[in-house]
Amino acid sequence: MDPLTLALAGGVLVFALVVALLLVLAGGQSASERLAESSGASHDAAVAVDSVPLGRADPLPGLSDVVEGTPFWENMQMQLLRAGLLLRPSEALIISTISMVAGLVLGWVLTGQPILGILTGALGLGAPYMYMTQRAARRQAALTSQLPDALDMLGSALRSGYALTRGFQVVASQMHPPISEEFERVLQEVQVGISVSEALDGLLMRTDSYDLELMVAAMQTQLTMGGNLAEVLDKIAHMIRERVRLQGEINAATSEGRMSAGILIAMPIVMSIVISVVNPNYLDPLFHERLGIMMLMGAGMLMLAGIVIIKKMLEIDI
C-alpha cells in the first residue's frame, strides 16, 4: 500500500485518539468538585443531573442551547453519569463523531472498499456508546456489590443514635467509590434545601438500580410512617448479598456463551478487513456484483437476528 496513504490513515487515527483522550481526561475531575458546582442548583437540575464540568468551556454551546432540556439531552447526561464519565453530552457527541470519521477513513483507506469504510465508520460511531454502556453496567455492578456493606454501616449508625443523614455521612466517608460518590451527592442536595425523600429519588434515577430501589423505598416509608429502619436495612442487605452471589453464579455459567457471541459477531468483520488488506481484490464480487450485495445484506440480517437471539438467551432475571 502507498506509504503516503498509510501515513494519512495513521495520522487520522492518532488525531482522533488524542482528541478523545483529552476530552475524557478533562472530564475526570473529582466527584466532589462536580457536586460542589451543582450545589446551588434547583431540585429539577439535581434530579436531571445537568451539571457542568469546572474549568472548561462547552465546545458546542450552540448545540447545547438548542437541545438542552430535551429527553435526548437528559438521557445522554444521565447515561454519562451512570457510567461515571463527567462529560457534557456535547463532548460525548464530539468523541463519537471523531471515532466515526476515524473508522470511516481507516476502513476505506486500508481496504479500498467504500462499504467496508462505512461499516467501520458505523462501528466507530457506536464504539463510544458501547463503552459507556459497559462502563455503566460495571459501575452499577460495583454499586450493588458495595450496597450490603453500606447498609450494614448505615444500620449500625442508626442503632448508635445517629440521624439518617449522619448515617449517609458515615457511608460517604468510609466507603469507596462509586457508592461513596452517590451518598455524597445525596448529602449535597440535602444541604442546599432538597428534602431527603427527593434526594433519594434523585439517587434512584441516577443509578437505576433495583437493589437501591428497595433501600430507598424502606427509607421513604420510615420517613413518612416510622418504624425500625435498622432492622429493615439488615434484611435488605442479606437479600442483596444472596442476589449478588446468585448473579455471580449465573455470570460464570453464561460466560462461555457471551464469549462465543462476541467472537461470532466480530469474526466476519475482522476477517473481511484482514482479507481486504492482504488481497484487496479478493472480495470485490461481494461489493460490486448484485448477488454479492444480496448475500451481504442477508448475512447482516442473519447476524442481527443472531445477536438478538443470543442476548435473549443470556438474559436471566433474578
**Per-residue pLDDT at 44:** 44
**Per-residue pLDDT at 13:** 53
**Per-residue pLDDT at 52:** 45
Q: Are 82 and 140 in contact (CB under 8 A)?
A: yes
Mean pLDDT, consecutive 10-residue stretches, the chain (318 aa), reads 51 54 47 39 40 56 72 81 80 84 81 77 84 88 89 90 88 89 90 88 85 86 81 89 86 82 82 83 83 86 84 75
Looking up cell 466507530 gives 124
Environment class of residue 272 by beta-carbon count within 10 Å: exposed (0-12), middle (13-18) or buried (19+)? buried
**Per-residue pLDDT at 10:** 55
**Per-residue pLDDT at 270:** 84
Sign of CA dihedral 33, 24, 46, 197: negative
**Per-residue pLDDT at 43:** 40
Q: Which three cell numbers stand for residue 107?
A: 476502513
Buried b (16+ CB within 10 A) or exposed e, 286-314: bbeeeeeeeebeeeeeeeeeeeeebeeee
CB 242: neighbour CB atoms within 10 A?
A: 12
Give the chain's domains with CATH numbers: 141-247 (1.20.81.30)
CA distance linking residue 211 with residue 201, whole number of Å: 14
**Per-residue pLDDT at 318:** 67
**Per-residue pLDDT at 47:** 40
Buried b (16+ CB within 10 A) or exposed e, 127-146: bbeeebeebbeebbeebbbb
**Per-residue pLDDT at 39:** 37
Kindly report the pTM of this predicted structure: 0.65
The candidate with the shortest Cα–Cα distance to 7, out of 151, 148, 110, is 110
